Structure 1
Amino acid sequence: MLAIGQAAASGNRGSRNAARVIAFARERGDLVVNIRHEAPDAPFFVPGSEGTNINEAVQPRPDEEIITKNFPNSFRETGLKDLLDQHDVDEVIIVGAMSHMCIDAGVRAASDLGYATVTIHDACATMDLTFGETTVPAAQVHAAIMAGLEMFYGEVITTDDFMSR
């Protein structure tokens, strides 16, 4: 099993649950890979800025891998797939932010590469989005993304359900 922390789930509940999932993976001796997003041309993910910091609730341990990515898809132009293959990973557990970008892209890519995927939906977070004149509340953005992932790309479950397996 593998837990991928996509930077960090924001918000108290999402980050607390992400921390629980990662602690559970660590206790079991599972590989934990932390993902940091950097994008030099983006206003929020500029290398060295606060936007690239991993949430304090899910800080990597010194012996854990940190993959730096420049695109929403954690597999694109990174060593993530090679790392997973070196460790014979066949199932990817994903937590973090943001549901509508990095979580969505990472789950779809993992599934397309042949990994079984489990998205811990209450350990992920997103934000309100605007399209034209319409503002879509974060809860609806999150629900729509999770519904699509659950339909075709793998399991979408709660933290408690994951930990009770």
Structure 2
Amino acid sequence: MPRRALIVIDVQNEYITGNLPIEYPDVNVSLANIGRAMDAAQKHGVPVVVVQNFAPATAPIFARGSALAELHETVTSRPRAHYVEKALPSAFAGTDLADWLTAHDIDTIVIAGYMTHNCDDSTVRHAVHAGLSVEFLVDATGAVPYENSAGRASAEEIHRVFTVVMQSRFAAVLGTDEWIAALESGEAPARDNIYASNQRARASSSSESASASGGNR
């Protein structure tokens, strides 16, 4: 059995009613699943670590002292084993998280919270490089859209691509229902690798090309 801890990252009002609203998956869906994951963790003896991000008081988002930087009631209404305050994307950077996990003999972290492509992804990679296994709750996380000099991407595109990449090497990506079932059964979630992921994509492309060629004859 994996020795898990559920890491609930930055479930703060800024993402729900503030200046950085989560768009995909629907934030009400992800909030409900975050609550369900925390409840399941409590039931099965999985410690919950709550992470909160702060920026300087003058910042446009997550300003220290503002109501929008506070944790959402989904998190504050439930028990936690440990609290981490951070100022960088990774929940490990400049915090005591790594030491706490080691002290509690944790070998697998489970990620819920926001955002898929920023603090979640940074924490996932940091964990893998530190030798931890990772499980990522795809419907208890979420993304926002971006547009800059490199182009534009919707929240759905960002969430989908980041989770596909995670499953290829960095994490077992699964829904909250699947994760709760894994807690109850003791079975480890399915993992994948870069080579197999790439081979499937190449085979799918070849099949699609063959079908298109056949249809044009």
Spell out, residue by residue over 1:114-165, the C-alpha distance to the aligned partner (whole angstroms, 9 max, x if none): 1110000110011111122733110111011111111111201111111111
| 8 A Cα contact 1:15 1:58, kept in partner | no
Spell out, residue by residue over 1:16-36, the C-alpha distance to the aligned partner (whole angstroms, 9 max, x if none): 111111110011121100000
1:158 aligns with 2:170: no
Select which of 96, 115, 119 maps to 2:136: 119
Long gaps (5+) in structure 1: none
Long gaps (5+) in structure 2: 16-21, 183-217
Select which of 27, 31, 37 maps to 1:15: 31
| 8 A Cα contact 2:49 2:80, kept in partner | no
* Percent pairwise identity: 28
TM-score, scaled relative to structure 2:
0.72
| 8 A Cα contact 1:108 1:153, kept in partner | yes
TM-score, scaled relative to structure 1:
0.93
Structure 2 equivalent of residue 147 of structure 1: 164
Q: Which has the higher helix share?
A: 2
RMSD: 1.7
Change (3 A) 1:79 1:133: closer
Q: How many residues align?
A: 165
Q: Which amino acid aligns with 2:73?
A: E
Instruction: Give the whole-Å Cα distance in 2 for the aligned partners of 1:139 and 1:42.
Output: 27
Instruction: Give the whole-Å Cα distance in 1 for the aligned partners of 2:48 and 2:92.
Output: 15
Change (3 A) 1:17 1:61: closer
Computing the radius of gyration from Cα coordinates, the structure with the larger value is: 2
Q: Secondary structure of 1:164's match? A: helix
- Map residues 79-118 of structure 1 onto 2, 5 A cutoff: 79-118=96-135
Question: Which has the higher relative contact order, 1 or 2, with Cα contacts under 8 A spaced 6 or more apart?
Answer: 1
